[in-house]
Amino acid sequence: MWHKLPESRVTVAVTITNMLAAMGFLISAVWVLWKIDNFEWKLGALTIFVVAFSLWVAILTSAARTEVFGATAAYAAVLVVFVGRG
């Protein structure tokens, strides 16, 4: 009934999925923040994206708490710089 997939194929599939999700978080956030004109709405959207990213990293990866914090801080820094330029 169920076929056993080699662990290496599963690892590659998970890695690709995580990479696409990370790229999607960054690209979609930049597009949304670019389209919003109101600064308060931009900050609200930024907050939503940062919280969603943090939850994704914490729940769907095997990252340690310090790695979650570091990744979230880096993601937030990129978005804050983008919002600051707009």
Q: Is residue 13 part of a domain?
A: no
Q: What is the pLDDT of residue 46?
A: 96
Q: What is the pLDDT of residue 86?
A: 58
Q: What is the pLDDT of residue 7?
A: 86
Q: What is the pTM of this model?
A: 0.82
- The number of beta carbons lying within 10 Å of the beta carbon of residue 52 is 13
**Domain total for the chain?**
1
First-last CA distance in the chain: 55
Q: Is residue 33 part of a domain?
A: yes
pLDDT along the chain (86 residues), means of 10: 80 91 94 93 96 94 94 95 78
Q: Is residue 19 part of a domain?
A: no
Q: What is the pLDDT of residue 76?
A: 95
Q: Which domain holds residue 65?
A: 27-85
d(CA 53, CA 35): 20
